[in-house]
Structure 1
Amino acid sequence: MLRNNIPDQHLIELLKVYYGIDIHTVQLIVGGADMNAFGYKADSESNSYFVKLKYGHHDEINLSIIRLLHDSGVKEIVFPINTLEANLFQQVDHVKIIVYPFIDAPNGFTKNLTEKQWKQLGKILRQIHGTSVPTSIQQRLRKETYSPKWREMVRSFYSQIRFDESDDQITTDFKSFFNQNIDSIHQLVNSSEELSKKIRPDFEKYVLCHSDIHAGNVLVVDEESIYIIDWDEPMFAPKERDLMFIGGGIGNVWNKPHEIDCFYEGYGKTSIDKTILSYYRHERIVEDIAVYGHDLLSHDQNAQSRLESFKHFKSMFDPNDVIEIAFASYFNLLFFRIIQ
């Protein structure tokens, strides 16, 4: 659910009070898929900052992970700026404020990684997956349980859409598109459930995962450097939770064979569980359908939020995008089993 962003002047005052930063202008950054967060560029006389407002009360485990990785020598992350009280964030009522140095760089959706950067991304992710996480942090991290939550939510849309009598144009367009693609949606949900039942969780093989490392969360600074951003949802899971994004095609990028080869040249030799990889590629889409569908069927959403959700929803069905690639991974898995 999209929240109302706070007035610019109020945000400027908050940054002065809690961070001691004299900001003269703030500018909302549009385009994020998280409907419970806002990003701003904030400018002072000498520096620019990225200010993230996260709504709701959240465990600051993500910031603990950022600190852990920073202290472990992972340089390709953006470390937050401390508040005046030396904290990594400031909670103001129901809003968490996090301030970072502003990095003026495109993300992987708008700029292709070079071969060197693909290898670098592989090395970084291997380093993250190999990071030793203290028990005190492990206890607070989400752990993969292969929950049916999102599948059940999408299934609830079947009847909800059938009996919805709204004449709202966005809702009408969404229902029409949903029904046009109902066979693919059924296949995604059913295959995800089938794959989840084939997996036997092995907690000893769980590693620290970013869990959302798509192209939009990799900043391409120049021909050499990259940064991994948006550590909102770190978790303990099989490494395939992150590896499914490499070649997964989210946003119709990161879907070329030579990119995958370069990535694994950097990541190093590893054994990949194709069942888990295929599960994640299906389940991630099911989750997106659930989240976007909820936004589009909720009539209390504003039009901007709902149009943005509809755009993201439709794009998943584009050629060589996530759904086509997920189905291919499932077909390849079945074919592999047949020839064994």
Structure 2
Amino acid sequence: MLERPKLADKAIIAKLQSEFELLAPTLEFLPIGNDARAWSFRVETAAGEYFLKLRRGAPKLASLIVPRHLRSCGVNNVVAPIPAISGRLHARLEDFALMLYPYIQGESEWAMALTAAQWREWGAIMRSIHDAPAPAELVQDVPREVFAVKWLEKIERVEEILSRGAYDGEVADAVGKIWRAKSDVIELARSRYLSLGRRMEKKSPDFVLCHADIHTANIIIDDAGALHIVDWDETLLAPKERDLMFFINDGRSVDTTDAFLAGYGHRSVDLLGLAYYKYDWVIQELGDYGERVFLADGLGRDELALAQREFARLFAADDVIDRAHRAYANLLASESEADAIRG
């Protein structure tokens, strides 16, 4: 979030002292991230620096236990939460969960380009995550992918509000105009999302542990050039294409994709899964920004302005909708070629 949570710093500091035994911590609010329910701080102590994440409501258990599990499997590029003195992976403060992490001094991949060698390394890291075992005691607490259902209810609620004109404000007016102007595009994305989801469900692909939100802001390059994966809030069991869709046909150069796949091991990529997840991301973005503008309460001016900008950008050339359409065209071309070979 771009604006501070409604919590006093002294209350947060007291909780860090009592739950994590941090000595004389100081806080610096970090106006970063695109999660309307989360806030970030840098914590400085005499012993070192930490990253503090506050989340409104209950924490997502999988986001805490999966990175700990992956580190126990030797995937040391994963940034995992630091246990409190109670052994729990979070603490409570009023209606917020507090999660403490090591602080990684560096930049996100959003802000700096990776070298070819780093992209190969990144591919190898993703392969190690997808190959990691998922024991039964872990699986029971990790969500499983359910195809073609996410965010649809939110989109329907937004469209019902738009049809009644039951909204006001500059941002809502601007987003409403775009939504109406792009209604055919939105309906096509929803239709393809549903049809591809039915095909995925029928296909019953193998599931692996996925980060599920591995975009450029969640890849941190430290000052020594090492790669780190942060923000496991959306982790789930899903086909590997749930993660690979962020690296394949996602606006990157062919050389970059080739380097990533060389590190990953050139396993076959399911074009059906890739197309499905490209549209899954479109539907998620439509639902998320629609919820923020038309359904959520208490968002500040900066957050609403960000939602408006990001919503408008979805329809830009080579953004997520454009990429989903290209993935769908690639799928159709591949299936047509396969039919020609068989026939």
TM-score w.r.t. structure 2 length? 0.91
**CA distance in 2: counterparts of 1:88 and 1:299, whole angstroms:** 28
Match of 1:124 in 2: 125
**CA distance in 2: counterparts of 1:292 and 1:182, whole angstroms:** 15
- State whether residues 61 and 141 of structure 2, in contact with CA within 8 Å, keep that contact through their aligned partners in structure 1: no
* 1:289-324 superposed Cα distances (whole Å, 9 cap, x missing partner): 101101101363322322222222222222212111
Match of 1:288 in 2: 285
- Which consecutive unaligned segments of at least 5 residues does structure 1 have? none
Inter-CA distance 272–204: structure 2 relative to 1 (3 Å threshold): closer
1:146 Cα deviation from its structure 2 partner: 0.4
- 2:302 aligned to which of 296, 301, 304: 304
* Aligned: 1:262 with 2:263: no
**CA distance in 2: counterparts of 1:308 and 1:326, whole angstroms:** 23
Match of 2:269 in 1: 272
* 1:43-66 superposed Cα distances (whole Å, 9 cap, x missing partner): 123422110011212352222211
**CA distance in 1: counterparts of 2:159 and 2:68, whole angstroms:** 43
Inter-CA distance 27–197: structure 2 relative to 1 (3 Å threshold): same
Match of 2:336 in 1: 338
Matches for 1:217-232 after TM superposition, within 5 Å? 217-222=218-223, 224-232=225-233
Match of 1:188 in 2: 189
Please identify, of 276-285 and 199-208, the stretch whose mean Cα deviation from structure 2 is larger.
199-208
- 1:316 aligned to which of 293, 314, 317: 314
**CA distance in 2: counterparts of 1:23 and 1:310, whole angstroms:** 40
Inter-CA distance 20–258: structure 2 relative to 1 (3 Å threshold): same
1:286 Cα deviation from its structure 2 partner: 0.4
- State whether residues 295 and 301 of structure 1, in contact with CA within 8 Å, keep that contact through their aligned partners in structure 2: no
1:90 Cα deviation from its structure 2 partner: 1.4
* Aligned: 1:94 with 2:95: yes
- State whether residues 54 and 97 of structure 1, in contact with CA within 8 Å, keep that contact through their aligned partners in structure 2: yes
1:201 Cα deviation from its structure 2 partner: 5.0
Aligned identity (percent) is 27
- State whether residues 56 and 94 of structure 1, in contact with CA within 8 Å, keep that contact through their aligned partners in structure 2: yes
State the SS of the aligned residue for 1:43: strand
1:338 Cα deviation from its structure 2 partner: 2.5
**CA distance in 1: counterparts of 2:316 and 2:201, whole angstroms:** 32
Inter-CA distance 82–157: structure 2 relative to 1 (3 Å threshold): closer
Inter-CA distance 196–79: structure 2 relative to 1 (3 Å threshold): closer
Matches for 1:1-340 after TM superposition, within 5 Å? 4-201=5-202, 205-222=206-223, 224-247=225-248, 249=250, 255-298=252-295, 300-302=297-299, 303-340=301-338
**CA distance in 2: counterparts of 1:262 and 1:291, whole angstroms:** 32
- State whether residues 248 and 326 of structure 1, in contact with CA within 8 Å, keep that contact through their aligned partners in structure 2: no
* 1:117-161 superposed Cα distances (whole Å, 9 cap, x missing partner): 111111011111111111111122111120424234323433321
Q: Aligned-residue CA RMSD in angstroms?
A: 2.1
- State whether residues 116 and 224 of structure 1, in contact with CA within 8 Å, keep that contact through their aligned partners in structure 2: no
**CA distance in 2: counterparts of 1:155 and 1:137, whole angstroms:** 34
* 1:158-210 superposed Cα distances (whole Å, 9 cap, x missing partner): 33212224331111111012222222211111111111122245667111111
**CA distance in 1: counterparts of 2:55 and 2:333, whole angstroms:** 44
1:255 Cα deviation from its structure 2 partner: 2.3
Match of 2:341 in 1: none
* 1:55-113 superposed Cα distances (whole Å, 9 cap, x missing partner): 21235222221121111101101232232223322123432111112112111111111
- State whether residues 75 and 125 of structure 2, in contact with CA within 8 Å, keep that contact through their aligned partners in structure 1: yes
- Which consecutive unaligned segments of at least 5 residues does structure 2 have? 339-343
TM-score w.r.t. structure 1 length? 0.92
Q: Which amino acid aligns with 2:234?
A: E
Inter-CA distance 135–201: structure 2 relative to 1 (3 Å threshold): farther
1:223 Cα deviation from its structure 2 partner: 6.5
Inter-CA distance 258–223: structure 2 relative to 1 (3 Å threshold): farther
